[in-house]
Amino acid sequence: MVELAIAPGVQRALESGNPVVALESAVITHGLPGPAALEAVRRQSDACEQGGAVPAVVAVFEGTLHIGLSLDQCSALATHQDNAKVSPWNLASAISSPGFGGTTVAATVGAAAAAGIRVVSTGGIGGVHPGANGLDVSADLTELGRRRVCVICAGPKSTLDAGATLERLETLGVPVIGWRSSLLAGFLAVSAGLRLPARADTIDALGSIVRHHWALGGAGLVVSQPIAGELALSRSELSADGELAVRGPERTPAELRRLQARLGDRVIQANVALLERNAALAGVLSAALSSAPAGNARG
Ligand code: PSU
Ligand code: MN
């Protein structure tokens, strides 16, 4: 078992059963330019705390898997020159070399589960890329299928095949719950235009679905929260790019950079805002899950 460096404030919260939210860090190293990434960390952390939870940025830092980086450490990570994009397939090797990396949702979910954290917040989850016969699939989906963790997101990233992603989540038995919406969120767009099997309009209703899923032996869940309408981009604006030749782990970062280059600062502002909004919901949900009788929510 790889040793985890759990930040003292996170450790205290976990020991006393207080709410903690894990935040991914691939968005710091590979998703957003440095200054925007740091603004995102600050806003997500504040939003978690306002919801009553302790934020824990997960990352590989100085050769250790950390659960809870300080802002200074996030800043060092954002400016570090040789960061891995850390997924379960390279987590073990990234710890020895290069020793620094941003964890994707997949790696963050694994680390959260290992530390006993039940709620993870991100921007957009990975999913099924278009083309390649539907075989280019993010490990985010695999990990959601096996870890007892709830991921708050704004749906799959806009460059993905949303329909195939939803089908894969169904296959894996991962509930996708629309937060105050019946449609799958479309990351930078309000919706991906697909109907969801479940929705929740209150934290009680959401917490109740999450607890039931775990009590019934289920693993991961996705909560899909649409971006605020006034910041959203239109689906046609977002889908104007053709397929990139880039394959493998570099594909998602390359697609995000291309969107940022084509649509400018609006993409970054919208991305940071949805990260903040998701962290706020994650904080409140995590607090609700901690305060309710723990009964069946273990394991
Ligand atoms: N959403 C963003 N920015 C990102 C990502 C998601 O707004 O950088 C990252 C997440 O860490 C997600 C990863 O887990 O992209 C998915 O990459 P891949 O398709 O290679 O699994
Ligand atoms: Mn891939």
CATH code, domain carrying 222 = 3.40.1790.10
Q: How far is the CA of 248 from the centre of ligand 2 (A)?
A: 5
Name the active-site residue from 24, 143, 255, 276. 24
Rounded to the nearest 5 degrees, what angle is found at the Cα of 221, between the Cα atoms of 276 and 193?
70
Q: State the greatest distance between any 2 C-alpha atoms of the chain, in Å, as a whole number.
A: 50
Q: Does any domain span residue 46?
A: yes
Q: How far is CA 56 from CA 6, 99, 182, 290, in A?
A: 9, 19, 30, 16
CA dihedral 286, 291, 297, 299 (to 10 degrees): 80
Sign, CA torsion 116/82/92/88: positive
Number of compact structural domains in the chain: 1
Residue 89 counted as domain residue: yes
Per-residue pLDDT of the chain (299 residues; tens, 9 = 90+): 568 999 999 999 999 999 999 999 999 999 999 999 999 999 999 999 999 999 999 999 999 999 999 999 999 999 999 999 999 999 999 999 999 999 999 999 999 999 999 999 999 999 999 988 888 999 999 999 999 999 999 999 988 999 999 999 999 999 999 999 999 999 999 999 999 999 999 999 999 999 999 999 999 999 999 999 999 999 888 888 888 888 889 988 998 899 999 999 999 999 999 999 999 999 999 999 998 654 444 43
Q: Is any atom of ligand 1 closer than 6 Å to the C-beta of 158?
A: no
Range of the domain at 220: 5-290
The one-character DSSP state at 156 is B
Pairing of the two strands 4-6 and 84-86? unpaired
CA atoms within 13 A on the CB side of 216: 12
Please report the sign of the dihedral spanned by the C-alpha atoms of residue 165, residue 174, residue 287, residue 59.
Answer: negative
Write phi, then psi, for 38 (nearest 5 degrees). Answer: -70, -40
Residue 296 lies in a domain: no
Q: Ligand 2 center to residue 97 CA distance, Å? A: 21
Q: Identify which ligand lies nearest to the alpha carbon of 254.
A: 1
CA torsion angle 98 135 167 252 (round to 10): 40
Tokens of 280: 């706020």
Instruction: Give the number of the ligand closest to the Cα of residue 131.
Output: 2
> Is 161 among the domain residues?
yes
Question: Which residue among 143, 157, 255, 276 is the active-site one?
Answer: 157
For ligand 1, say whether the CB of 110 is within 6 Å of any of its atoms: no
> Has residue 299 been placed in a domain?
no
d(CA 150, CA 152): 7
Encoded amino acid at 18, one letter: N
d(CA 156, CA 158): 6
Catalytic site residue 24?
yes
Q: Is 85 a catalytic residue?
A: no
Cα-based angle 34, 127, 147 (whole degrees, multiple of 5): 90
